[in-house]
């Protein structure tokens, strides 16, 4: 299996090289040259998460030796996860929540980031690289902490995380700035997630900077969802969710299901699309957005228009206007037309929008939820079912309600439940009528636990007394300079 670039099809590299490089030099994203089919899927229903993970990942990471890949999987999906199923499926009302937030940082990013360091170390070994790897990451809140947690104190690797100072939840921020590990570096930037992401992309595309690092024995890599080392592990849980339904007798062999994904950078839902292309019986992929509804508009009109203000919502991990992974979907559905992708991405960079005529996204449905609808959904779910959902998951739940009203489709449905409600305490608490005015986040969380009788996850309870270890803050223009300082490499002029 080879990987190519969405913007240049002459690129042909192995999976381990794609994991190390993160993003292609032409600005494109790495994609598998074909999406492998999985046969006899229904026979896999007795497999546990790790066994299934191996079946799926070995189709994509073909230059890893079986035993080495098994080792990576073993180390990733262990007791770091508080549930033995790793991704439990919970039936509430007429839907099934696939709970992806039982990892160490309480968001679905752990599902892939818990394995990425092991994949990367193995990839470095396979390619006989004798440099130190610097992981450079922009975060809308959850990736940052999940990456810090998984890469902290891994030798041979340093990790730098940029987060938007005012664009993450109180808990998300505290999780990051209290991060331990001498190889970690956390910086708040004055701007939003797109600023952070663009800054990071510019650094990746800066050849002089790459050379400077190279001379100092470093190479750059990425832990963002543009890295295939994140995308591929995310395919696993869609199979796992489906097979759990099958095993529990909730669906018949080969019965189609719908999947709803609260979407930001389009990574998680793209993994569901890959699962479908591999043969998983999926009817609709439902793309749920918050008030930053750029993907809803795109799915419904074929116009991707970022000329709008980014709105800060209670689902900050979806406050994104440039959904990077959409580029991969467009590459696949355009018949792998790299020139077409280059033109569209150029349009987006130059004029702020692109338009695709006769866009055929028949497997996709897109809608969005307002802040009010998010609160209402959290409230309704709790009052009716005593089940607490976070604002991202509430966006997905609400969009599914809209989908049902509009289509009368009663296909069994899995909703990707992407974060613990305690990570977004004040929104969740106020939605279920707890007075949060002038209260400290940790007190709010305690009240939330009291009212709902749900235990506060330990990773959050511990945060209150943790020391702040990172107080860096900068403007977008200074990101490169701060990295130079952290790595102690001499600066370059530009």
| Residue 108 or 382 having the CB closest to ligand PLP | 108
Coil vs helix vs strand at 244:
helix
**Binds ligand PLP by CB under 6 A, chosen from 23, 73, 89, 107:** 107
Q: What is the residue whose two structure tokens read 């922009």? A: 138
| Residue 5 or 143 having the CB closest to ligand PLP | 143
User: Per 3-state DSSP, what percentage of the chain is helix, strand, and coil (rounded to 5)?
Assistant: 45, 15, 35
**Binds ligand PLP by CB under 6 A, chosen from 317, 375, 426, 430:** 317
Going by their DSSP bridges, the two strands 364-368 and 282-289 should be labelled as parallel
**Region binding ligand PLP by CB under 6 A among candidate stretches 102-110, 128-136, 203-211, 406-414:** 102-110
Distance in angstroms between the alpha carbons of the first and the last residue of the chain? 39
Nearest residue to 112 (alpha-carbon basis) of 265, 218, 220: 265
**Region binding ligand PLP by CB under 6 A among candidate stretches 52-60, 101-109, 239-247, 351-359:** 101-109
Question: Least distance from C-beta 120 to ligand PLP, angstroms?
Answer: 19
179 binds ligand PLP (CB under 6 A): no
344 binds ligand PLP (CB under 6 A): no
The footprint of ligand PLP on this chain (CB under 6 A) covers a number of residues equal to 17
- Residue 238 parent element (H or E): helix 228-247
In the region spanning residues 205 to 264, those forming contacts with ligand PLP, defined by CB under 6 A, are 225, 262-264
Question: Least distance from C-beta 419 to ligand PLP, angstroms?
Answer: 3
| Residue 212 or 394 having the CB closest to ligand PLP | 394
Q: Helix 228-247 crosses helix 267-278 at what angle (to 10 degrees)?
A: 60
- Residue 138 parent element (H or E): strand 132-138
In the region spanning residues 71 to 100, those forming contacts with ligand PLP, defined by CB under 6 A, are none
| Residue 64 or 104 having the CB closest to ligand PLP | 104
Buried b (16+ CB within 10 A) or exposed e, 425-434: bbbbbbbbeb
* Dist CA 1 CA 406 (whole Å): 41
Dihedrals phi, psi of 477, to nearest 5 degrees = -65, -25
Nearest residue to 492 (alpha-carbon basis) of 98, 139, 213, 190: 213
318 binds ligand PLP (CB under 6 A): yes
| Residue 188 or 421 having the CB closest to ligand PLP | 421
Burial class (CB in 10 A: 0-12, 13-18, 19+), 398: buried
Active site annotation includes 404: no
Burial class (CB in 10 A: 0-12, 13-18, 19+), 39: exposed
In the region spanning residues 388 to 447, those forming contacts with ligand PLP, defined by CB under 6 A, are 392, 418-419
| Residue 108 or 209 having the CB closest to ligand PLP | 108
* Dist CA 192 CA 165 (whole Å): 8
Among the listed residues 109, 173, 201, 284, the single catalytic one is 109
**Binds ligand PLP by CB under 6 A, chosen from 5, 175, 268, 314:** 268
**Binds ligand PLP by CB under 6 A, chosen from 267, 366, 425, 457:** 267
Dihedrals phi, psi of 363, to nearest 5 degrees = -85, -5
| Residue 183 or 375 having the CB closest to ligand PLP | 375
Neighbour order of strands in the sheet with 95-99: 89-92, 95-99, 413-417, 257-262, 282-289, 364-368
> How does DSSP assign 248-283, residue by residue?
TTSS-TT--EEEEEE-SSSHHHHHHHHHHHHT--EE
- As beta bridge partners, residue 301 has none
Q: What is the DSSP letter of 217?
A: T
374 binds ligand PLP (CB under 6 A): no
**Binds ligand PLP by CB under 6 A, chosen from 266, 274, 298, 331:** 266
**Binds ligand PLP by CB under 6 A, chosen from 142, 291, 338, 441:** 142
313 binds ligand PLP (CB under 6 A): no
368 binds ligand PLP (CB under 6 A): no
24 binds ligand PLP (CB under 6 A): no
| Residue 319 or 338 having the CB closest to ligand PLP | 319
Q: How many CB atoms lie within 10 A of CB 412?
A: 16
| Residue 14 or 289 having the CB closest to ligand PLP | 289
Question: Least distance from C-beta 317 to ligand PLP, angstroms?
Answer: 3
CA dihedral for 62, 65, 66, 72, sign (positive or negative) = negative
Question: Least distance from C-beta 141 to ligand PLP, angstroms?
Answer: 6
Question: Least distance from C-beta 464 to ligand PLP, angstroms?
Answer: 21
* Dist CA 317 CA 249 (whole Å): 34
7 binds ligand PLP (CB under 6 A): no
In the region spanning residues 148 to 177, those forming contacts with ligand PLP, defined by CB under 6 A, are none
Question: Least distance from C-beta 140 to ligand PLP, angstroms?
Answer: 6
Catalytic residues: 109
What is the binding site for ligand PLP (CB under 6 A)? 107-109, 142, 225, 262-268, 317-318, 392, 418-419
């Amino acid at each position: 299996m080879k990987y190519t670039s969405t913007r240049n099809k002459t690129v042909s590299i192995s999976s381990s090289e794609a994991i190390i490089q993160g993003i292609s030099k032409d600005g494109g994203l790495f994609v598998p040259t074909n999406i492998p089919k999985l046969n006899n899927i229904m026979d896999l229903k007795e497999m546990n998460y790790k066994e299934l993970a191996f079946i799926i990942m070995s189709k994509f990471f073909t230059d890893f030796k079986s035993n080495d890949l098994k080792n990576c999987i073993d180390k990733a999906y262990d007791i770091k996860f508080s549930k033995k199923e790793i991704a439990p499926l919970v039936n509430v009302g007429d839907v099934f929540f696939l709970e992806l937030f039982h990892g160490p940082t309480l968001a679905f990013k752990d599902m892939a980031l818990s394995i990425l360091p092991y994949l990367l170390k193995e990839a470095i070994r396979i390619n006989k690289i004798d440099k130190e790897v610097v992981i450079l990451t922009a975060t809308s809140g959850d990736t940052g902490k999940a990456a810090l947690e998984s890469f902290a104190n891994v030798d041979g690797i340093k990790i730098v995380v940029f987060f938007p100072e005012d664009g993450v939840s109180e808990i998300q921020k505290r999780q990051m700035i209290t991060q331990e590990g001498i190889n970690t570096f956390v910086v708040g930037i004055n701007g939003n997630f797109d600023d952070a992401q663009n800054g990071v992309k510019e650094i990746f595309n800066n050849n002089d900077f790459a050379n400077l690092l190279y001379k100092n024995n470093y190479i750059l890599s990425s832990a963002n969802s543009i890295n295939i080392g994140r995308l591929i592990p995310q395919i696993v849980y869609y199979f796992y969710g489906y097979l759990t339904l099958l095993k529990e007798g909730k669906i018949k062999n080969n019965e189609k299901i719908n999947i709803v994904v609260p979407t930001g950078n389009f990574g998680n839902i793209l993994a569901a699309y890959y699962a479908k292309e591999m043969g998983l019986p999926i009817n609709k992929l439902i793309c749920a957005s918050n008030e930053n509804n750029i993907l809803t508009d795109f799915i419904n009109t074929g116009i991707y228009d970022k000329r709008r203000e980014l709105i800060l919502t209670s689902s900050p991990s979806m406050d994104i206007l440039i959904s990077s992974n959409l580029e991969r979907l467009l590459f696949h559905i355009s018949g792998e037309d790299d020139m077409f992708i280059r033109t569209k991405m150029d349009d987006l960079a130059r004029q702020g929008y692109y338009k695709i005529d006769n866009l055929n996204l028949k497997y996709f449905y897109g809608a969005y939820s307002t802040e009010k609808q998010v609160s209402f959904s959290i409230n309704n779910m709790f009052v009716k079912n005593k089940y607490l959902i976070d604002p991202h998951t509430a966006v997905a739940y609400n969009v599914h309600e809209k989908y049902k009203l509009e289509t009368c489709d009663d296909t069994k449905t899995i909703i990707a439940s992407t974060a613990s409600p305690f990570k977004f305490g004040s929104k969740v608490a106020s939605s279920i009528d707890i007075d949060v005015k002038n209260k400290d986040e940790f007190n709010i969380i305690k009240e939330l636990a009291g009212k709902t009788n749900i235990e506060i996850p330990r990773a959050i309870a511990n945060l209150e007394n943790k020391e702040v270890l990172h107080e860096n803050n900068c403007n977008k223009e200074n990101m490169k300079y701060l990295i130079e300082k952290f790595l102690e490499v001499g600066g370059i002029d530009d």
